[in-house]
Copies of this chain bind each other. A is one copy, B any other.
Amino acid sequence: MKAPENVYSQHHLFLSTQEREKGIGQRGKVVWLYGLSGAGKTTIGAGLERSLFEKGRQVVVLDGDNLRTGLNADLGFSDDDRRENVRRVAEVARVLSSQGAIVIVAVITPSNKLRDLARGIVGEQFLGVFVKASLEACQARDPKGLYAKVTDGKIRNFTGKDSGFELPSAPDLVIDTETLSIEEAVMVVFRELQKS
């Protein structure tokens, strides 16, 4: 039987945020972890992912480092490229959180302007988490050996060294990884998520 032409021309809508959140039993959210390289963004992100996943939550990770080899492979570390990097990640996070997912983002996001850009794109589902550690602590940890490469002159425009990192003026949440253990840090963010 031939399908009537008009059926495919009607409005067929994707599920709404409300339908999805009701069905999944959670609210969409974007946890935007920002801070210096080595501050602990990925560590906390991974711990948070695991905690949420084990409780049956739908959780997605957008890790800045991983995206740099894929979605943002065409971008460098100039101001314009950092901005475009943040814009794209925020746009993807917005799409996913509007479909009910809890999205964990880990991106340096070195300036208040960039944090505002991300928040503006995502909207009210945005939770900005400043993952705080001194430059000295980050250099001592140097999990990816990047600070050593900067010292050796092999990397330029590295945030905290020859490229600036602006302290947040009004962070939603601050996680000091020089005083909190990983488990404590994850728990603080987890509890904050339960409030919303």
Interface residues of A (CB under 8 A from B): 1-3, 5-15, 20, 23, 38-40, 42-43, 45-47, 49-50, 53-54, 58, 60-63, 66-67, 70-71, 73, 88, 91-92, 94-96, 99, 101, 121, 133, 137, 140-143, 177-182
Nearest first, the 9 closest Cβ-Cβ pairs linking A and B are A9-B141, A71-B91, A70-B91, A12-B43, A12-B46, A9-B143, A8-B40, A3-B181, A14-B46
Known contacts A8-B182, A12-B42, A60-B99, then 16 further A-B pairs from the complex at CB < 8 Å, ordered by chain A residue: A3-B177, A3-B180, A3-B182, A5-B140, A8-B38, A8-B40, A8-B177, A9-B143, A12-B43, A12-B47, A14-B49, A14-B61, A60-B101, A70-B91, A71-B88, A71-B91
Q: Name which residue of chain B comes closest to A181, CB basis.
A: B3
B95/A8 in contact, CB under 8 A: no
Q: Kindly report how many copies of this chain are found in the complex they form together.
A: 2
Q: Name which residue of chain B comes closest to A96, CB basis.
A: B60
Please give, as numbers and ranges, the residues of chain B lying within 8 Å of A95 by CB-CB distance. Answer: 62, 66-67, 70-71
